Amino acid sequence: MADDFSDLAPPIVASLSAECEQSARARDNYTPELGEIICARIAGGEVIQTVCEDDDMPSRTTFYAWMDKYPELKTAYDKAVLLRVDKYVEETFEI
């Protein structure tokens, strides 16, 4: 039965390896400007998973660690999420 799943292991391992590599690359690269870019994208309607899939962005794990380390980023992210919700509500009313 293990043979039935053996072909699934390489993609999973590759995905985890890519996540770890991306996390290591971005772990200590926080800047307020990068935080603003991420939050602007969130406010514009994107979700953090999509933003963090870009090669020049941190992994979600790194981003969440940054929010713990930098309270101003957490505040900006919370505001961005509210702005995203407001955007979706306004779009709903337009329909």
Handedness of CA 48, 51, 53, 59 (dihedral sign): negative
Over the stretch 23-75, which tens digit does the pLDDT of each residue have? Answer: 555 556 999 999 999 999 999 999 999 999 999 999 999 999 999 999 999 99
pLDDT per residue as tens digits for the range 4-17: 555 555 555 555 55
pLDDT in tens, 71-88: 999 999 999 999 999 888
pTM: 0.68
Q: Quick one: which of 46, 39, 52, 20 has its CA closest to 79?
A: 39
Question: Would you state the pLDDT for residue 10?
Answer: 57
Q: Find how far residue 37's CA is from the centre of its chain.
A: 12
Euclidean distance between the first and the last CA atom of the chain, given in angstroms as a whole number: 51
